[in-house]
Every structure is written in structure tokens, then in C-alpha cells.
Amino acid sequence: QTASSLASIALQGAHTREELARSQSRLTEIAAAMPGVIFQQVQQQDGLEFSYVAEGAEELLGVDAESLMKDASLLWSRVDERDRCIIDQVLAGQVEGTLSKECWFRLHMPDGSLRWIEAHARRINEGDKQGWAGIFLDATEQYERERRLHRAGLVFDHAQEGIMITDAELRILEVNPAFTRITGYEAEEAVGQTPRILSSGRHGRAFYREMWDQIRSQGHWEGEIWNRRKDGEIYPEWLSITTARDPRSGETQYIGVFTDISRLKQSEEELAHLAHHDMLTGLPNRLMFHLRLDHALARARRDGRQVALLFLDLDRFKNLNDTLGHAFGDQILRQVAARLERVVREQDLVARLGGDEFVILLEDLKDTEASGRVAEALIEVLRQPYTIENREYFLSASIGISHFPADGEQADDLLRAADLALYQAKEEGRSTWRVHQPELTRRVEAFVNMEAALRQALEREELCLYYQPKVDARTRQVIGAEALIRWEHPEQGLIPPNHFLPL
């Protein structure tokens, strides 16, 4: 009986040891399959020591399990200085009384790299065994991911550009503070809405259709767009829309990043204005005038309309400007510009070509006499006194007029004709106006040709002297001779001096 009982007890003990071995094996396999390294620490006289470390310690922690259970400092001595205080608190038992703990620390690996370790542990209290049981995890990727998210959050919150994120149905999911600053919509007002709340109405369906066709085909669109703020103000922005797809869920989101370019557009408009306007008077300059003249002539050709060009020059302005100074002259020119604009119609153009030269472009004239009436009104308004520093000054102006199509089909022809008419007005006493006549052009062309030929005559020695005797009427004796120059032109023959001396 006793022997049988002893055998039974021995058999049960063997089964128990076998079961424990199998359990231990299963636990070891489970520990090996865990993503981290399971450990157990117990309180010793010298502090906490590892009583168990699962496989994988060398790969994760840089020291094998057996060595670690012999000397825990092989791990703790490689903790980065920035995290040493955390580990010192744990090892010194400053967390007594807590049931669980977790911490993150940086660990210097044998190959020189730095790895983030995440530790989770629960307190154990089994008789004389007191300590911790837990797991070490590689948190490097998680830390980097969280750090990227943190940086992205900083960019999102502090970016000067407005950022708007929508789902596939274009419902707004999130906006950043810059979105609120630019549009005036708070986050809670925008979330759940669609970007249509910003629509200015300036773009048609074709614009948005083309935009979304490109986004869906290329995943990106960028360009200038006009939107509306919450207060109703319409403003320009530079918008970039990018498609973002979650690789795990497959969900599509759209990220819109935009910049308010109101100041840029204003600067562009100011530069364009400066490029096309006279800085002194604010009138259109020569460049703007030629653009408007070309357009006016194109419309006149198409519609069969008449156009008049008035070339205006202030009489003796240079003498006044040189005598009283350029600052005085600038004030006069500004007043002249203002008076000219008051006389003409809104659709007409007054431009300053430079100095004291102005041109007035009259479109859609019913008859050519209308330009004369305008010229008379301009001369009259410029005759009125100019008050500068409590003193009155008087000026007059002369005007030459040309008409399309009578005086030319091209802009240069009309300008030349108006200039010739202006020359005639000044020759005939100033403070008046003259309409271009074809005969004037012929005279001027003959004058120019004669001047050019005279220069050649000097080089070719075509000029010669004729001596005319001077006779005393009483004695009938020759008392001298008068030298008279003549031009022996090879084609026109002998040209008398009264034809070329004025040149």
C-alpha cells in the first residue's frame, strides 16, 4: 500500500513537471512571438535586477538575455543622458505604490545608432518576490511618426497659407488658423460645409469643370482664383489643390493650400498703371496712347466710324518754364491736364506725350466739324488764368487736327498729319487750331526734299555766284558789284535764292 502510494505520488510529480515544462515551453514560444521583449525584475539588496528576459533582447536592446540577467547595468548604462533621470527614478524605487508604469527612453546601440524604447510594466508582489513584470518595445518608428505628425501639426497651425482639408464629397473636415484669418470663417463655421461658401461668382462652370478634371486625372491643380470672404469682400488667391489617398482605408481627401495675393495684385496693377500713365499728370502716356489709338482705328475700320486726333502744344511754355523753374512748370502741366479732361467726353482720351505736348483722341465722331468745336473749347479753357502761389499766369495753346480716314489709315500717318497742322497753327499766330490739308503735306514734303537736296548741293558744289554791277545814277559809272548766289540744280535748273535761302 505504501509503495503503491509512493509510486502514485512519483507519477503525479512526473506529470506535473512535464506539464510545467510544456507550459514553460508555451510561454517561451508566446514570449518569442511578442513584438517586444518580455522581462521580469525583482528587488534585490542592490536594487532591481532582471530575473527573466525573453529572447530577442540582443536584437532589440543590444545585449543578450543571459548577460542582462547577470548585469542590468549593461542596459541602463547606455540610456541617453537626456532620459537618465527617468530611469534613475525607476531604479531608485521612487514609483513605489503604483500598480503600473510606462516610460520612454533613448538607448544607444552598439552600432552607434539611437533607438527609442517604450517600456510597460506592472508591479508584482508574490511573497518575498517584489518587482515588475513587463515588456520592452521598439518605439523608434512610432516616435518618428509622432514627431512627423507633430511637425505637420505645427506647420498646419502656424502656416501663413490657408489650409483646408475636405473628404471625397468635398465636405470640409478641417481648416487651420490662417484659413480663418484670410476668409473670416471660424473653424466651426466652415467644418461640414463645402468650399462653395467661398465662391465669388466670378468663375463659370467651365472653369471649375476644367479644374476638377485636372485634379482627378493628375492629382493636382494650381492657379489663381477669386473667392469671397465672410464679410462679402471678393479677393484673389493663389490656390493649390492636391489629392491625398489613405493607403490603408483607401479614402480620398483633398488638401487645398491658398495664399491671399491681394497685395500682389494691387502691386501689379500699380506697376501696370505706372507703365501706361504719366507720373506727373496721371494722364495716359505715349505707350498707352498708341495702344488706344490702334484699337480705336481697328474699331473705326470695322464699323465705318470717324476718328479725330488733336495734337496740342502750349505756346511759349519753354520760356516760362526756363524763367520760373521746373517746379512751376510742373504745376502748370498738372492744371492743364485737369482742364483738358474736363472738356472731353468720358470715352475720349487725353494723353501726355512729353514736355508740353498733349494729344486728344476723339472716337465715334458724327462729322469732322465736331473736332473743331472741341479744339475751340480746349483753347478757350486753356486761356483762363492759372493761379500759382496767389499769382495769376496766362498761357495759350495751338492745336493741329487730323481725321481718319481722310488724313491716313495708320496711326503714324494721323500723327504726322496732326503735327503738320499744329505747325501751321503756330505759323499763323498761335492760340488757334488748324485742320490738316493735303496741300500742307505737299509743301512740307517739298520743303524737306529741298533741304536734303541743299545739303547735297554744298557737297557737289552746285552753288555759284553771280555778280550784279552797282552803277552811280548820276555819273553812270560802275562803283561796285553785288554778289548773288544761285543754285544750279541738275534737274530743276537755276533755282533763285528766295526758294532756298530760308532753309
Q: What's the confidence (pLDDT) of residue 213?
A: 95
Would you give the distance in Å from CA 411 to the centre of its chain?
35
Q: What are phi and psi of 350, to 5 degrees?
A: -115, 125
Q: What are phi and psi of 149, to 5 degrees?
A: -65, -40
Q: Do domains 34-140 and 159-265 have the same CATH topology?
A: yes
Calpha distance 181→260 (Å, rounded): 10
Q: What's the confidence (pLDDT) of residue 450?
A: 74
Q: What's the confidence (pLDDT) of residue 95?
A: 47
Q: What's the confidence (pLDDT) of residue 289?
A: 95
Give the three cell numbers for residue 188.
466651426
Give the three cell numbers for residue 494.
537755276
- The closest alpha carbon to 309, from 442, 424, 399, 428, belongs to 399
Q: What are phi and psi of 466, to 5 degrees?
A: -120, 135
Q: How many CB atoms lie within 10 A of CB 199?
A: 14
- The string over 150-170, giving b where at least 16 C-beta atoms fall within 10 Å of a residue's C-beta and e elsewhere, is eeeeeeeeeeebbbbbbeeee
- In CATH, the architecture of 279-436 is 2-Layer Sandwich (3.30)
The radius of gyration of the chain's CA atoms, rounded to the nearest angstrom, is 50
Identity of the amino acid at 422: L
Give the CATH number of domain 159-265: 3.30.450.20
- In CATH, the architecture of 34-140 is 2-Layer Sandwich (3.30)
Domain boundaries, the chain: 34-140, 159-265, 279-436, 448-500
Q: What is the pLDDT along the chain (503 residues), one digit of tens a residue?
A: 555 555 555 555 555 556 555 555 555 555 555 678 988 888 877 778 888 898 888 999 999 999 999 998 899 899 999 998 888 877 665 445 566 778 889 999 999 999 999 988 888 876 677 888 889 999 888 888 888 888 878 888 888 999 999 999 999 999 999 999 999 999 999 999 999 999 999 999 999 999 999 999 999 999 999 999 999 999 999 999 999 987 777 889 999 999 999 998 888 888 888 899 999 999 999 999 999 999 999 999 999 889 999 999 999 898 888 888 989 999 999 999 999 999 999 999 999 999 999 999 999 888 889 999 999 999 999 999 999 888 999 999 999 999 999 999 999 999 999 999 998 898 888 889 999 987 776 776 666 677 777 778 777 877 888 888 888 888 888 888 888 788 888 877 777 777 666 65
- The closest alpha carbon to 72, from 90, 85, 97, belongs to 90
